[in-house]
A and B are shown apart, each in its own frame.
Chain A
Amino acid sequence: QTVVTQEPSFSVSPGGTVTLTCGLSSGSVSINHQPSWLQQTPGQTPRTLIYSTNTRLTRSSGVPDRFSGSILGNKLALTITGAQADDECEYYCLLYIGSGIWMFGGGTKLTV
């Protein structure tokens, strides 16, 4: 049973930098998992912040450049540089597991 893992919660000071991670129980996360990061503010529908192409992770249109995605070691990472109060919400990673199956991580509740 594949599990996608995220930190349940994280805290960052306003203006600070935080890196959230997303791991895969079956091994390393790679670009072939078509990884993406989604943000969900309370009471709102999620939106995709970061998505992948065959070569890199990139921001969705309109997403501030303080958000960046990367593969760090064997995990997917979301780094927020200069965190703002508006960034306080839930963050989810989404991975393609294979055979048509997708899986979300459990979400990280970020406190700023």
Chain B
Amino acid sequence: EVQLVESGGGLVQPGGSLRLSCGASGLTFNNHWMGWVRQAPGKGLEWVANIKQDGSAKYYVDSVKGRFTISRDNAQSSQYLQMASLRVEDTAVYYCVQWGHIDNWHRLDLWGRGTLVTVSS
């Protein structure tokens, strides 16, 4: 079965750190861009970060630049999101996502079930 499974969410105080992990199975992991999308409680979707197949390119939404770091381990079919200097407004369900593509046109193909990050004192 093709799936993405996130872990690492939880309750953290403002200013704290957390590392999210995402394991992939059933797909050729190193063929795909990967990323993270978050959704605050009762709110819409927000793209957070992407990482290229070989990890050579990484992109972030402005609100997390300098605080979050995306990485991947193709040998482990896993990607990660290291989050630091967390703020209350980072509270959200974080989804691991896999991008598909046809030539240079990309789309979101696969989502994990999400992991909840709560930033609160």
Residues of A within 8 A of B (CB): 34, 36, 38, 40, 45-48, 51-54, 60, 90, 92, 94, 96, 99-107
Taking a contact as CB atoms under 8 Å apart, the answer to whether A100 and B50 are in contact is: yes
Q: Bound state CA distance, A54 and B112, in angstroms?
A: 27
In the complex, which residue of chain A has the Cβ closest to the Cβ of B111? A45
Query: Shortest CB–CB separation between residue A35 and chain B, in angstroms?
Result: 10
- How would you classify the secondary structure of chain A's contact residues: helix, strand, loop or mixed? strand
Give the A-B contact count at a CB cut-off of 8 A: 59
- How would you classify the secondary structure of chain B's contact residues: helix, strand, loop or mixed? strand
Partner of A101 from the list B59, B95, B104 (CB cut-off 8 Å) is B59
Q: Bound state CA distance, A69 and B119, in angstroms?
A: 38
Taking a contact as CB atoms under 8 Å apart, the answer to whether A96 and B106 are in contact is: yes
Chain B contact-residue range equals 20 to 34
Residues of B within 8 A of A (CB): 37, 44-47, 50, 57, 59, 61, 95, 102-109, 111-114
What 18 additional pairs, Cβ within 8 angstroms, besides A38-B108, A106-B44? A34-B107, A36-B108, A45-B112, A45-B114, A46-B45, A48-B109, A52-B107, A53-B103, A53-B105, A54-B102, A54-B105, A94-B47, A96-B106, A100-B57, A101-B59, A103-B47, A104-B37, A104-B47
